[in-house]
Amino acid sequence: MKILAGLITAITIAVAATVAPAPAEARCVGCAVGAGVAAGLIGGALIAGAAQASPGYYPPGYVAGPRPGCYYTRDRVWDPAYGVWRRGPKVLVCP
């Protein structure tokens, strides 16, 4: 494991040393500052918008159901088109 870590480190240093840096040019210092400020504002706006758009955590609420003693059932409904009895919609029955 130590050999692998040392090999990876050596390769990383060798690659970093072979990459030639571009010569620095100081033509427009204000341009770079302005671009950095603009990027920061846009990034901050995106992060703030994403944070505000997320609904957050809400604990599960109470789901209202039928009262104690009540139940749902389906009545039979006559279908005159086919001449048969069919199951109707759910109906809440509270005795």
> How many Å from the N-terminal Cα to the C-terminal Cα in the chain?
75
pLDDT tens digits for range 36-71: 777 777 777 777 776 676 666 666 777 676 778 888
Asked if residue 61 belongs to a domain, the reply is no
The answer as to whether 72 is a domain residue is yes
How far, in Å, CA of 35 to CA of 16, rounded?
Answer: 27
* Count of structural domains, the chain: 1
Q: Which phi and psi angles does 10 have, rounded to 5°?
A: -65, -40
Task: Identify any residues that bridge with 79 across adjacent strands, giving them in sequence order.
Answer: 84
Q: Are 67 and 94 in contact (CB under 8 A)?
A: yes
- What local confidence, expressed as pLDDT, does residue 48 receive? 72
Residue type, position 1, single letter: M
Which residue range forms the structural domain that includes residue 73?
66-95
Q: How confident is the model at residue 78 (pLDDT cuts 50, 70, 90)?
A: very high
Q: What tokens were used for 45?
A: 């706006």
Q: What is the pLDDT of residues 5-27, one digit of tens each?
A: 776 777 777 776 666 566 666 66
